[in-house]
A and B are shown apart, each in its own frame.
Chain A
Amino acid sequence: AQTIHQWPVAEIKAVGSPLSLGCTIKGKSSPNLYWYWQATGGTLQQLFYSITVGQVESVVQLNLSASRPKDDQFILSTEKLLLSHSGFYLCAWSLNSDYTFGSGTRLLVI
């Protein structure tokens, strides 16, 4: 069975500090991978997608970057956090328009 694991579960970080969020997919080879962001009380916005290792496309500019160093791994990062980065980050994979979401990382920037 396919599983999707996100880490960490939650983070409290200072403005200006770096951030790295991770996502690992097990049981599925070469999935399409996505990062979504949800502001508190808001809808979900697609940030990045990746169809293959080493290739990441940006959908929304939020001063964040993403990388796919391995087929089953998707990383979201920034060198300098902003207050506006606070929210809920979800990783997802898809096959033929069927999406599976991770349990998310809750980020508070103070």
Chain B
Amino acid sequence: AQSVTQPDARVTVSEGASLQLRCKYSYSATPYLFWYVQYPRQGLQLLLKYYSGDPVVQGVNSFEAEFSKSNSSFHLQKASVHWSDSAVYFCALSPLSGSFNKLTFGAGTRLAVCP
């Protein structure tokens, strides 16, 4: 079975501050890992993804994430947040193989950036 845990339902930071959104996963092997962002009343947009190789992956809008196999984690980070980053962020996992790829989402973290 596969699962994703985002332990923080809500995170509030000040504009210009650094950010880390936590994600822990459970899967028997190394999976594909994703971070998606959902702006109000919109669908999902892919921020970044990890398949293999360098554990630090760069994404859009200066986001990056670090994969840790030992900690089963894939935390999202940003050095300096902007008010427009306020949104809900979802971590997701997909198995490496199989014609049917089940993408499993975490519960999401709602980020509020205060001026």
Contact = CB atoms under 8 A, between A and B. Distances in A.
Interface of A: 32, 34, 42-46, 49, 51, 57, 59, 90, 92, 94, 97-99, 101-104, 106
Nearest to B45: A101
Contacts of B46: 99
Contacts of A102: 43
Given A32-B99, A32-B100, A57-B100, 11 more contacts: A43-B108, A44-B105, A45-B105, A46-B104, A49-B100, A51-B99, A59-B102, A90-B44, A99-B103, A103-B43, A104-B42
Q: Interface on chain A toward B: helix, strand, loop, or mixed SS?
A: strand
Interface residues of B, number: 25
A51 B43 contact: no
A44 B43 contact: no
Contacts of A99: 34, 46, 94, 101, 103
